[in-house]
Amino acid sequence: FGGTALRGSVARLLAMAKHGLDSPINEKAAGIVRKGSGYGGVWTAKDDFESRRRRTKWCQPESVAHLKRKVEPPPRLYVDNRTIIREVVNVCDLQRGDHCMIAINLVRCVSPTLDYLVSILGSLEVIYFYHHFIMVDDVAYVDEQGIPRTESGGLAELVEYANTVPEALMEVRIQSLGSWRRWPMAAARFLLDKSRCQRSALADYGDTKHLYRVVEHVTSEDRQRIVEQAFHLVNNPKTYNVLWNNCEHVTNHISRGHFTSPSMHFGVWGICRAVLCMLGLVCLHALGGACYDRFCVSRPLSALIVYHLFATLPVILQALISFAMVSHTVWKQRAQALISHDDCYHLIGKEFGRLVVVGGGAATAIFFMPEMAWRSRQYVLTGALVLVVYLMSDVIYNFLAHAVMRGVLIPVWGKVWLIGSEDRVNLVMEEVADKSEEPVEKKRPRGPRHRRGKGKPAHRVATDAAPM
């Protein structure tokens, strides 16, 4: 036993001498267990990046050839059809007071690959719910590990209501005092307040490449007020509740003064529409099915009317009202110079296509579903299709739209939906020129594109916030 322990100690010393103590492999070989910066000492993604174990997704070396093909992603509509968001292509564009979001990830920090996959699904608009937070620091540059930092070199931070799976398990473990018998009660207390209002490093989202920012007019005074309210919330937190006090409620209250969660409204309306469809199906089966069991010659007109009233009409009204709200929002944002002329027509064209393809296609499928049910006698299958056909149509439309945009239009024409902005093209070409003059490996960005000047007008900042 003594000889084995001695050989193990010698091996650890040789590993440390060869590669250095900070090497992740040698830490494991040396038997060193470091505590992370998460709750209860949980090791987080930021700890991985700071210990140089891996780099963030924002630390991708870009060649000049890639930059020449680069086109900024167009804006998109949020689920409330009243807010426009854009993808943040360069994290150095983020400023204090920005209202940001990422695709919601219920298993964040379980696996970097899984986090990146969820981020990609969010960029394809197949995830409808988002996690919201407020930036409280300006991002001045990104270091060699891809960590966003401030002008002084500190970590760029944000304020959020958040938790991760490893931290949640640690919290329940601490509350249960390590006893399995106390786990049920500790888990119940945790579920009543499962997220904490805290200051976090933006680097914690380094595995989530796709960030989004709300397109809005924000003055320097507004940014100062937003940051002060965010700090006040951290010092005086309220109990988290997914329905009444979630991250979106708090972020909207701080940035806009409205304590609301459009995601919850979107989810509630989806449930209500599903309930109406089920009522229509029940009436259709109760009236039509019973009649056909008695070999009725004429079709049950009353059953069809009730079915279309509860199943088809809500889908048509949702499609029409959504497009009307989108049109009003887009033209309003265009009048305020928050989006460009091309972005305006891109959004109008995209949402009109959604009205025709998704709304019209789903309504048509639901309209002819009774005929399919009566001929096939597959009432359960047709009923399930009625419930999910609108959502499935919307997901397929989003996926195909991004496939065409990213796989055909941008690579071939360098434009989005055959519409391109001269200003955007010139901006990309200027970035290409800058990149060609300095080494690609240099991570500290320079120039007005990457480093914000204090005297830059606020309305220009809100417009440039536009990456998606």
Over residues 289-310, the mean pLDDT reads 66
Predicted pLDDT of residue 40:
83
pLDDT score of 263 more than 80: yes
* pLDDT tens-digit map of 351-402: 999 999 999 999 999 998 887 877 777 777 888 888 899 999 999 999 999 9
Question: What is the pTM (predicted TM-score) of this model?
Answer: 0.78
Residue 440, helix vs strand vs coil: coil
Query: How many CB atoms are located within 10 Å of the residue 290 CB?
Result: 12
Tell me the HSE value of 398 on the side-chain side, using a 13 A CA sphere.
17
CA of 409: how far to CAs of 406, 415, 447, in Å?
A: 6, 6, 30
Binning pLDDT at 50, 70 and 90, where does residue 417 land?
low
What values do phi and psi take at 55, rounded to 5?
A: -115, 160
Helix 369-376 × helix 379-404 angle, to 10° = 130
Mean pLDDT, the chain, rounded, equals: 79
Task: Tell me: pLDDT of 324 over 90.
Answer: yes
- Please count the CA atoms within 13 angstroms of the CA of 351 that sit on its side-chain side: 27
Question: pLDDT confidence of 71, banded at 50, 70, 90?
Answer: low
pLDDT at residue 467 in the model: 41
Q: pLDDT digits over 107-139, tens only? A: 888 899 999 999 999 999 999 999 999 999 999
Lookup result for tokens 């007019």: 217
Over residues 226-235, the pLDDT tens digits come to: 999 999 999 9
CA terminus-to-terminus distance, the chain: 61
| Phi and psi torsions of 218, nearest 5° | -130, 120
Q: How would residue 422 be classed by pLDDT, with cut points 50, 70 and 90?
A: very low
Q: What is the mean pLDDT of residues 57-75?
A: 62
Please report, as a single letter, which amino acid is at residue 449: R
Fill in the DSSP letter of residue 182.
G
**Residue 38 has what pLDDT?**
85
Mean pLDDT of 151-158: 94
Query: How does residue 5 score in pLDDT terms, banded at 50, 70 and 90?
Result: very low
For residue 37, what pLDDT band results from cuts at 50, 70 and 90?
Answer: confident
HSE-up (13 A, CA, CB side) for residue 452: 24
**What is the rounded distance in angstroms from the CA atom of residue 148 to the CA atom of residue 92?**
7
Let me know if 108 is exposed, middle or buried by CB neighbors in 10 A (0-12, 13-18, 19+).
buried
Reported confidence tier of residue 315, pLDDT bands at 50, 70, 90? very high
pLDDT greater than 90 at residue 102 = yes
Residues 199-214: pLDDT tens digits?
999 999 999 989 999 9
Per-residue pLDDT averaged across 56-80, rounded?
69
pLDDT at 461 over 80: no
CB 158 within 8 A of CB 234: no
Take residue 214 and report the two structure tokens written for it.
């709300």
Phi then psi for residue 103, to 5 deg, are -60, 135
What pLDDT score was predicted for residue 342? 86
What pLDDT sits at residue 187? 83
Stretch 90-116: mean pLDDT = 92
pLDDT > 90: what percent of the chain? Answer: 44
